[in-house]
Amino acid sequence: MKSFWMAALAAIAINHAAAQGLKPPEQNVFNSGNGLLSDCVDSRSFCLGITSGYSDMLAVEGTICTELPVTRQQVMDVVLWFVREHPTQRHTSAASLARAALVAAFPCQDGQDPSKKRRTGGALQD
């Protein structure tokens, strides 16, 4: 009986959220893949900055291993290629698409010492 009431309350909450026009959590992001592509067409500087920012964050947390001579241009190219090649995912967050692209492009090798990874954005070359 308790599970029935929990399910009923969940259904009411979902219906209320839908009636209010609230979007699922994935959509409550600053930028989607579609937005990233549009922004990158408008401003190369913005695009270099945001994609290298995604790369820096992933490198600092130990998710990817980028080492010199990786450039900001290369990182941007990797992210934009991934977004363009996955049109059915462009409505999702730009950050999640960038993560998928960069993890595929710059995986950490077995036995790579995490303390030797590039840790700061200043190490990326222009």
| The pLDDT of residue 17 | 42
Residue 38 corresponds to which tokens in the numbers above? 């549009």
CATH number reported for the structural domain that contains residue 68 in this entry: 1.10.890
Q: Which pLDDT tens digit goes with each residue over 76-121?
A: 999 999 999 999 999 999 999 999 999 999 999 875 655 454 444 4
Tell me the residue range of the domain where 63 lies: 29-123
Q: Is 17 part of a structural domain of the chain?
A: no
Q: Answer yes or no: is 114 within a domain.
A: yes
Specify the number of domains making up the chain. 1
In a domain, 15, yes or no: no
Give domain status of residue 51, yes or no: yes
**Is the pLDDT reported for residue 48 higher than 80?**
yes
